[in-house]
Structure 1
């Protein structure tokens, strides 16, 4: 298992690609490691997630439970330059009064399926802003039917069929 530690995050975004009903989601982050006075190394990570995982991450970021340990005391500095694209399989969140630590368990997107653990250190403001970005991206999909609460398609159907709560349309089979 490979471990990556990411701090000094310059930019973290939640991005969706595709049309509503057929979207894929990922977190994209860039950090700069200052190696010497003038030298800065840039590392990039792209973590592909399901929409349900993003909503769960939003809920964790909006109501973090504080741990007793100070997170920054356990921090391991990593000055390597890396460019990762991984599929997020599991995640957790630790937080204290100043810092949130996101831990992603991931698989690298290639033939080898190498397990990777990514530690992302965010301050409270970055974590709150990320939560706002996540919910904005998740809400920008298809509107829900006010009757059955399923996502509505552009043709007015509810996920491919007429709404079963509208005008007696119900499948009794």
Structure 2
């Protein structure tokens, strides 16, 4: 199957659906009438934000590339367009094209053979900076984290093994 190529993207954003504790996450990317919806875990999303931040910092520090301000215009939700591509992400990677000054988000499908890229989303460094910040906002909008055990605190309460010495086991 030929990989989908989105870019340079008009929009690139992270979305969470559902109530905190039961949310599902996806990356939405597109241009014109092409749109991709790529499902992933919260941990993958946070790792992506970290990777983007590290890549941009390395480009600015090591290569002397001028830092850019974020371009939040890409964060607007996609128009009501059915997805051209939609799958659950198994692999994520980032690449940089120095000639075009563009960052590529390379996405591999969960059940695809190793190292097979199913979709590539090209974005400017400014768009990627805004995308990274959006990821952090989306992930932070969930349940608060317990300062003692780092577990999620539900609205109905939280049993913290560090404060009471035990953990409830559900059978």
TM range (shorter): 0.7 to 0.9
The SS at the match of 1:9 is coil
Partner of 1:165: 162
The CA deviation at 1:116 is 5.7
Return structure 1 stretches of 4+ with deviation > 2 angstroms.
65-68, 113-116, 168-171
Larger radius of gyration: 1
TM-score, normalising length: structure 2: 0.73
Give the count of matched residue pairs.
Answer: 141
More strand by share: 1
The reply to whether residue 14 of structure 1 matches residue 47 of structure 2 is: no
> Does the Cα contact within 8 Å between 1:107 and 1:116 map onto a contact in 2?
no
More helix by share: 2
- Provide the C-alpha distance between the structure 2 equivalents of 1:105 and 1:164, rounded to a whole number of angstroms: 37
Partner of 2:88: 87
1:45 corresponds, among 24, 36, 40, to 36
The CA deviation at 1:131 is 0.3
> Does the Cα contact within 8 Å between 2:6 and 2:29 map onto a contact in 1?
no
The reply to whether residue 149 of structure 1 matches residue 145 of structure 2 is: no
The reply to whether residue 5 of structure 1 matches residue 2 of structure 2 is: no
- Provide the C-alpha distance between the structure 2 equivalents of 1:56 and 1:135, rounded to a whole number of angstroms: 10
Structure 2 runs not aligned, ≥5 long: 64-82
The SS at the match of 2:162 is coil
- Over the aligned positions, Cα root-mean-square deviation in angstroms equals 2.6
Structure 1 runs not aligned, ≥5 long: 33-41, 69-81
Task: Tell which has more relative contact order, 1 or 2 (C-alpha 8 A, sep 6+).
Answer: 2
